[in-house]
Each structure stands twice: as C-alpha cells, then as structure tokens.
C-alpha cells in the first residue's frame, strides 16, 4: 500500500469537501457554481487518488455514489420508531373533522397552526446519520421492519452522504420520500426502450423498482430525488419546537425539503393551500396524490399521540382521482380467509392514473345493487385514493340490449355453502368455514406470510396445490409435511422441497406478536398484535382477556375487542393453538410460564420533556422489555411519568392526577436498580 504524507491527506480532504459543496449547490439548491466539465474533472481526480491510496476512502466519499458490487439480497432492519401510514381525507368536510378532533383533544389550545406539504408519489424511506455520516437507509416495509437499501440510497445525488455541519448531532433519523421527476421518468423510459427493456408505467413504480435493485450500479443510473419530511430520532438537546423549524434545520444540514411547503395559520388556510396546489398539480415537476397536513407544534404532536396505524396529528388530504371508461366483461366472486365474499369486476384494459387496469373492486352486494350492473356495460373506473381501482358508475346510455343483469350469488362459488348476509355487517360471508377450500387456502397463505410465520418458499401456487391434492387441510398440517409428500408436486424438485421443510422447521421459533398476527384474527394487524403482546404476558392471558382489559389498550375499540374475544371463544381455535404448540411452535417464555417475574407488567409509563442522558426510544425499549406499556398521553391509568427538561402540560396533568413523577436522574437510577436486581 502506497505511503501517504500529510500533504496528500490535506489535498484529498479538500477535494472531497469541494465535491460535496458543488453537489449540494447543483442537486439541492439548483444553483451550480461550476460547469459539468469541471465537476467531472474533480470526480475523476478523486477516483484516481482513491485508487492510489485506497486507505483514504471513507463512507462519505463522493465516489460511493457510483455504486458497488451486487448484493446477494437485502437484509432486514427494525425501525426504532414505527413508520406508520396516514389517515386520508377525501373532502373538505373530512379535513375539518380532523381539525375538530385535534381541537377536542387539545382542550384550551385555540391557536393550532399546521404545516402543509405536497404528498409526493414515491417511496418512503428512513435515513440514519451517525456523527453526520449516512449510516443506514431503509424502506418502510410493514412499518415495523424494512429493508436495508443503504448502498442504493448512497447513489442519489440530491441526498448528502455527510451532513453540512461542524457539530452534527450524534444521531439523527430523517424520514422522507424518494421519487422520480416527470422529466427524469420520461428520459429513463426512452433509454429503457432503446436497450430493449420494458418501460415503467409511472414515476412511482420507476422509483420503487430502482431502489429494489440488488446491483447499486443500476440504481446509480436512475434519476432519483429525495425530499425530507420529518425527524423521528434526534440525540442532541435543544431540538426545534415546531415541524417547520425542524425542517428548516434539516435543510441547513444539507437535506432537500420541498420548496412548496406552506405554513398555515388555521384549517381554512390549509384548505386554500390544497385548492391552490390542486390547480397547479399538472404544472409540477413531480407527481403528487394530495397534501399532507401536520400539527406544527411538536409538543402538541406528542400529546395527540398515535392510533395503532396512524398519528392523530397528521392527515393526508387526497386529491380526486383520475377516471376513465371501460367495458365490464365479467364479475368474479372471491372468497377470503374470513369467508368474506368480494365481487371483482373484470374489465377491458384501460389506462387510469398512470396504471393499466383490468380488474376493479365492486366492494359488496349493496354496491352491485347501487350500480345496477349488467354484463357488457360501459363503466367509469377510478383509482380510489390513486391506489385501489373501483367502478364508480354505469354509462346507461351505452348499455347493450338484452344484456344480463349481475346478481350477487346465494351460494359460495367454491364450496357451494350458503352465503350469509348478517344484519350487522355489509360484507356477505361464506358459511362453509374450514370446509371451504378457498378459506383454507387464504388462512394458510396468511399464516405463512413474511410478517406472520415467514415460511419462505410457501407461495400462493404451492398452497393451492397442497390444499387441492389433500396434503393439508389446516395450518397445523404444515408441520406434518414430508419430503415424500412434497416431491411429487408440480415444480417442487428435491432441493426446493428440502428448503421448504427447513423453512417450516425454522418458523417454529417465532414471537408472540408474529404468532398472534399469523392466526388471522379479524381486524388484528401487525400493530394490534404488538399491542396485545406488550400488554399481556402470555397467549393464555390473551385468550382469557375480559372486554374491559382489551378496551384499556390504546388503539383497541369495542368492535376489535369483540372480534378478539369471539376468536378465542371458539373451542376449535383453542385446539389449533394447542396443536401448533405440540408441533413445536414456540416463542420466548414469559411470566405466565414461571420463568421470571416481569417487574413492570401492567404498568403504563409516559415521557415528557427532553431526556438528555439516554435516547427516548432506548428508554422506551427498556421499559417495554420490563413489561410496561409506554403511552403518549397522561390519563388516570398512567402508572408513572418521566419528566425531562422543559416538561409541559403532561407534567401539570400528572400532578393534578397525583401520578408519581421521576426526573431524569431518578429515572436512570431506577433503571439501574431494577436491572441489577436478581428477580
């Protein structure tokens, strides 16, 4: 290795600094200070120096944007703070309802300001910078677990590898959207067609496909951009008090924020901004599907907290979707894992909102009756929320003579069991239960999915084969499969069969959260399964939980509580759980198993103010490991409040309710004492 003197090191560092500076002026500020030829010359010089002195290369070198060797696969990462979705408002009334709910929860706060920003149609990502250097980038995934796409994200020129700051925070997690401009998308598709490759259908698909490349050198050739929209983790003290100030701070660190962000003094200003942006939608350089509106005050955001799937302090004001007409060819009636029978329209392919659609949801029997559908009808199709295709109306003037009316079936199209229409439900359900092959298949597919038991190799087609051939009739049967049963199946050679059996065996070791989700309880998603696994010490406690115990969990309402109780009240359900455990399915033991006491089991803790000696998410994880549930709001059910510096309304409320309070020093001492106690 060539020896380096101080002069070479100084010259190299200056070269790196100059490239970072010019990259920021060009790709973030749109204000280039040198020509492309000069920039390319500096980059060539950098690469030559790094080839001669490879020991100089750091993570933040501009050369890292070129891309490296292909990865075998993406590794998974756990988000310290879940990446939740947003509730939608499709009308001015829905937006005002959101404002009313915010005011009701923030009693006494008459002056509530908002921050509005274009809802970019791209891919949500999490970026973690450590000491100013990009350390990790991850996709949203299922909200709790994403994929590590660091090598690909490093190739995006509008995203800094090193923050612009002499004293960067020790750790900061920035979230934002990776997207593709319309011009970049068009240029990419031109080059794809020239090289004989299939072009992308819209900028969002192009952005998502580019980030999913295992070869980051391919990603480096794609015209991707990035805009930051929030900060979720911040290690240093003295963080900004508002969303707007936080974004301005992020901008000073070198990350791009959307220039169309708007500060709104009230909900009227929000609606005016939405109307203005909608009129300018077609003239923007990028695709949007609405406006994201957030409570500007960060302390008020913390007070408002979260539902299981979304924050209470933000909403997406969605724009009207694009519409197109097509011909109804047929209606299929699909049966889901809970027996729900869903009608789906088969259409002549039509291009709507950047996507070719050949199928659209008809929702339920009432919707079919409302539309008065006939086979062969010309129908108007819309992408609801710019995502889910649906039939909006029939063009009656173009109906064919003697066309056949579409009727909702009385019997299941799969097992011929009667279809039930319960007075309390809009959805019709097949009464066949596990006698219905369609329901069995969907139950098994859900059980084996990545967020559930994660049985790799058990795809939809294989599940269909296993059920159709009688190899399995329930999820329990998966753990009785053998090589001799699998190898005769189509497209399942010896190696694939052995890999599947290994994946089934591996799935036996899981977590209570994943197991609960895998069971397929109605309305119980990943986040609800997490809440249940945190609140109760064992599966037995969940099975025996009273309604009031379930309703005490923030995020579980009466309907969901009823679904949970009805599920576990079924003796067949209990037997399935017992049989799975007999087959070896297990998870880390808890207090109910007599292994160890969980000292904070059943307690509810709340944080307020700045905690400087420990990251709040780390503190939250410690408390959860000790059995506590960490809430965002103070109530009579709160066990203890941890009050850091500049504590606000939560501290006042805790004192009024006579709730015990720890300051930061007392909290740290408590953690030290409880974790060193032999329990």
Whether residue 314 is found in the same domain as residue 332: no
Question: Does the annotation count 119 as an active-site position?
Answer: yes
Give the pLDDT band of residue 198 (cuts 50, 70, 90). confident
Q: Which of 376-385, 394-403, 481-490 has the lowest mean pLDDT?
A: 376-385
Q: Is 479 part of any domain?
A: yes
Q: How far apart are CA 119 and CA 100, in angstroms?
A: 22
Token pair 């791009």: residue: 256
Per-residue pLDDT of 92-145, as tens digits, reads 899 999 999 999 888 866 789 999 999 998 899 999 999 999 999 999 887 888
Give the pLDDT band of residue 496 (cuts 50, 70, 90). confident
Give a three-class secondary structure readout of 650-669. Answer: HHHHHHHCCCCEEEHHHHHH
Q: So what's the pLDDT on residue 315? A: 94
Whether residue 302 is found in the same domain as residue 226: yes
Instruction: Give 563 or 600, the one with higher predicted confidence.
Output: 563
Q: How far apart are CA 27 and CA 660, in angstroms?
A: 51
Whether residue 402 is found in the same domain as residue 542: no
DSSP class of residue 410?
S
Instruction: Give 655 or 601, the one with higher predicted confidence.
Output: 655
The sign of the dihedral angle between the CA atoms of 269, 271, 273, 279 is negative
Whether residue 344 is found in the same domain as residue 472: no
Q: Is the pLDDT of residue 64 over 70?
A: no
Q: How far apart are CA 288 and CA 319, in angstroms?
A: 9
Q: So what's the pLDDT on residue 70? A: 55
Show the CA angle centred on residue 649, arms to residues 647 and 652, nearest 5°.
Answer: 90
Compute the chain's Rg from CA coordinates: 28
Q: Is 430 part of any domain?
A: no
- Tokens (6 digits) for 542: 């969940």
Q: So what's the pLDDT on residue 137? A: 92
Q: Is the pLDDT of residue 32 over 70?
A: no
Give a three-class secondary structure readout of 470-514. Answer: CCCCCCHHHHHCCHHHHCCCCCCCHHHHHHHHHHHHHCCECCHHH
Q: So what's the pLDDT on residue 393? A: 87
Q: Is 428 part of any domain?
A: no
Q: Is 454 part of any domain?
A: yes
Q: Is the pLDDT of residue 518 over 70?
A: yes
Whats the size of the chain, residue-wise? 679
Closest CA to 127 of 209, 228, 256, 206: 228
Whether residue 589 is found in the same domain as residue 615: no
How high is the mean pLDDT of the chain? 84
CATH code, domain with 404: 2.40.50.140
Q: Is 79 part of any domain?
A: no
Per-state percent for the chain, helix, strand, coil, to nearest 5 = 40, 20, 40
Q: How far apart are CA 660 and CA 638, in angstroms?
A: 9
Q: Is 63 part of any domain?
A: no
* CA within 13 Å, CB half, 497: 15
CATH code, domain with 186: 3.30.470.30
Q: Identify the helix (H) or strand (E) that includes residue 26.
A: helix 6-27
Q: Is the pLDDT of residue 593 over 50?
A: no
Q: Which domain, by its residues, includes 530?
A: 512-593
Q: Is the pLDDT of residue 355 over 80?
A: no
Whether residue 501 is found in the same domain as residue 517: no
Whether residue 650 is found in the same domain as residue 543: no
CB atoms within 10 A of CB 643: 23
Whether residue 178 is found in the same domain as residue 306: yes
Closest CA to 648 of 638, 637, 633, 630: 633
Q: So what's the pLDDT on residue 548? A: 87
The bridge status of strand 145-147 relative to strand 76-78 is antiparallel
DSSP class of residue 579?
H
Q: Is the pLDDT of residue 595 over 50?
A: no
Whether residue 502 is found in the same domain as residue 517: no
Q: Which of 67-76, 141-150, 276-285, 626-635 has the lowest mean pLDDT?
A: 67-76
The bridge status of strand 341-352 relative to strand 323-335 is antiparallel
- Tokens (6 digits) for 160: 């800094």
Q: How far apart are CA 554 and CA 144, in angstroms?
A: 18
In 21-122, the DSSP E strands lie at 76-78, 88-89, 114-120
Query: What is the pLDDT averaged over residues 432-461?
Result: 86
Closest CA to 273 of 309, 319, 229: 319
Token pair 């998966």: residue: 478
> 602: which residues sit within 8 A by CB, 6+ positions away?
535, 627
Is 379 within 8 Å of 358 (Cβ atoms)?
A: no
CB atoms within 10 A of CB 52: 12
Give the pLDDT band of residue 620 (cuts 50, 70, 90). confident
Q: Is the pLDDT of residue 594 over 50?
A: no
Total count of domains within the chain: 6
Beta bridge partners of 128: 136, 173
Per-residue pLDDT of 204-218, as tens digits, reads 888 888 888 888 888
* CA within 13 Å, CB half, 439: 18
CATH code, domain with 46: 1.10.287.610
Among 318, 335, 368, the domain-final residue is: 318
Q: Is 1 part of any domain?
A: no
Q: Identify the helix (H) or strand (E) that includes residue 443.
A: helix 437-448
- Tokens (6 digits) for 82: 């879940």
The sign of the dihedral angle between the CA atoms of 486, 489, 495, 501 is negative
Q: What percent of the chain has pLDDT over 70?
A: 89
Q: Is the pLDDT of residue 6 over 50?
A: yes
Query: What is the pLDDT averaged over residues 241-260?
Result: 92
Is 69 within 8 Å of 58 (Cβ atoms)?
A: no
Whether residue 164 is found in the same domain as residue 294: yes
Q: How far apart are CA 127 and CA 211, in angstroms?
A: 14
Q: Is the pLDDT of residue 601 over 70?
A: no
Give the pLDDT band of residue 596 (cuts 50, 70, 90). very low
Whether residue 225 is found in the same domain as residue 124: yes
Q: So what's the pLDDT on residue 678? A: 37
Q: Is the pLDDT of residue 387 over 70?
A: no
Q: What percent of the chain has pLDDT over 90?
A: 29
Question: Would you tell me the crossing angle of helices 460-468 and 437-448 to the nearest 10 degrees?
Answer: 140
Question: Would you tell me the crossing angle of helices 571-582 and 558-569 to the nearest 10 degrees?
Answer: 70
Q: So what's the pLDDT on residue 665? A: 86
Among 506, 529, 560, the domain-final residue is: 506
Catalytically annotated residue among 59, 107, 119, 302: 119
Query: What is the pLDDT averaged over residues 180-189?
Result: 90
Q: Identify the helix (H) or strand (E) that includes residue 342.
A: strand 341-352
Among 593, 616, 636, the domain-final residue is: 593
The sign of the dihedral angle between the CA atoms of 25, 31, 33, 35 is positive
Q: Is 72 part of any domain?
A: no
Q: Is the pLDDT of residue 307 over 70?
A: yes
Q: How far apart are CA 411 and CA 418, in angstroms?
A: 4
Whether residue 160 is found in the same domain as residue 17: no
pTM higher than 0.75 for the full model?
no
Helices (H) and strands (E) in the chain, counts: 24, 22
């Amino acid at each position: 290795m060539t020896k380096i003197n101080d002069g070479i090191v100084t010259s190299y560092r200056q070269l790196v600094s100059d490239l970072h500076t010019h990259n920021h002026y060009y790709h973030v500020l749109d204000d280039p200070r040198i020509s492309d030829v000069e920039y390319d010359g500096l980059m060539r010089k950098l690469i030559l120096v790094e080839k001669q002195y490879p020991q100089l290369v750091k993570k933040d070198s501009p050369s890292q944007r070129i891309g490296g060797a292909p990865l075998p696969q993406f590794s998974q990462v756990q988000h310290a703070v879940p990446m939740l979705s947003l509730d939608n408002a499709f009308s001015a009334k829905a937006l005002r309802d959101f404002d009313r709910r915010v005011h009701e929860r923030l009693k006494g706060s008459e002056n509530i300001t908002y921050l509005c920003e274009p809802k970019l149609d791209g891919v949500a990502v999490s970026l973690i910078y450590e000491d100013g250097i990009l350390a990790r980038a991850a996709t949203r995934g299922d909200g709790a677990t994403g994929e590590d796409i660091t090598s690909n994200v490093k190739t995006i020129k509008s995203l800094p590898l090193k923050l612009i700051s002499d004293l960067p925070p020790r750790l900061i997690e920035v979230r934002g959207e990776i997207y593709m401009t319309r011009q970049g998308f068009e240029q990419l598709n031109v080059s794809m067609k020239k090289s004989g490759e299939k072009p992308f259908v819209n900028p969002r698909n192009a952005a998502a496909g580019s980030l999913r490349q295992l070869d980051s050198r391919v990603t480096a050739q794609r015209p991707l951009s990035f805009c930051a929209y929030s900060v979720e983790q911040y290690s240093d003290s003295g963080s900004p008090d508002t969303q707007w100030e936080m974004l301005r701070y992020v901008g000073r660190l070198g990350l791009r924020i959307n220039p169309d962000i708007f500060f709104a003094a009230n909900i009227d200003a929000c609606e005016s901004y939405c109307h203005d942006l909608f009129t300018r939608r077609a003239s923007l350089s990028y695709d949007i599907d609405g406006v994201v509106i957030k409570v500007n005050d960060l302390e008020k955001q913390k007070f408002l907290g979260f539902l299981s799937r979304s924050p209470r302090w933000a909403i997406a004001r969605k724009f009207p979707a694009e519409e197109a007409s097509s011909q109804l060819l047929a209606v299929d009636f699909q049966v889901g894992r809970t027996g729900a029978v869903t009608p789906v329209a088969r259409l002549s392919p039509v291009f709507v909102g950047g996507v070719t659609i050949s199928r659209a949801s008809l929702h339920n029997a009432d919707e079919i009756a409302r539309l008065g559908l006939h086979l062969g009808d010309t129908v108007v199709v819309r992408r609801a929320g710019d995502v889910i295709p649906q039939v909006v109306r029939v063009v009656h003037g173009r109906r064919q003579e003697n066309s056949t009316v579409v009727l909702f079936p009385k019997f299941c199209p799969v097992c011929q069991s009667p279809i039930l229409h319960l007075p309390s439900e809009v959805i019709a359900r097949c009464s066949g239960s596990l006698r219905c092959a369609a329901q069995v298949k969907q139950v098994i597919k859900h059980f084996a999915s990545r967020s559930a038991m994660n049985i790799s190799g058990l795809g939809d087609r294989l599940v269909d084969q296993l059920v159709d051939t009688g190899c399995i009739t329930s999820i329990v049967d998966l753990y009785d499969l053998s090589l001799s049963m699998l190898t005769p199946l189509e497209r399942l050679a010896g190696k694939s069969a052995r890999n599947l059996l290994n994946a089934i065996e591996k799935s036996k070791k899981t977590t209570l959260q994943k197991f609960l989700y895998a069971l397929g309880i109605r309305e119980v998603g990943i986040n609800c399964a997490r809440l249940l696994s945190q609140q109760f010490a064992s599966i037995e406690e969940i099975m025996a939980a009273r309604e009031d115990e379930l309703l005490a969990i923030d995020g579980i309402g009466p309907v969901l509580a009823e679904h949970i109780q009805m599920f576990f009240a079924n003796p067949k359900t209990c037997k399935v759980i017992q049989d799975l455990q007999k087959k070896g399915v297990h998870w880390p033991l808890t207090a109910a198993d007599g292994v160890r006491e969980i000292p904070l089991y059943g307690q509810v803790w709340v944080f307020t103010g700045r905690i400087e000696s420990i990251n709040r998410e780390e503190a939250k994880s410690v408390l959860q490991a000790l059995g506590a549930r960490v809430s965002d709001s103070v109530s009579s059910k709160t066990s203890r409040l941890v009050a850091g510096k500049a504590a606000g309304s939560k501290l006042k409320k805790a004192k009024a309710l006579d709730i015990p309070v720890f300051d930061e020093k007392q909290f740290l001492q408590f953690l030290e004492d409880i974790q060193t106690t032999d329990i």
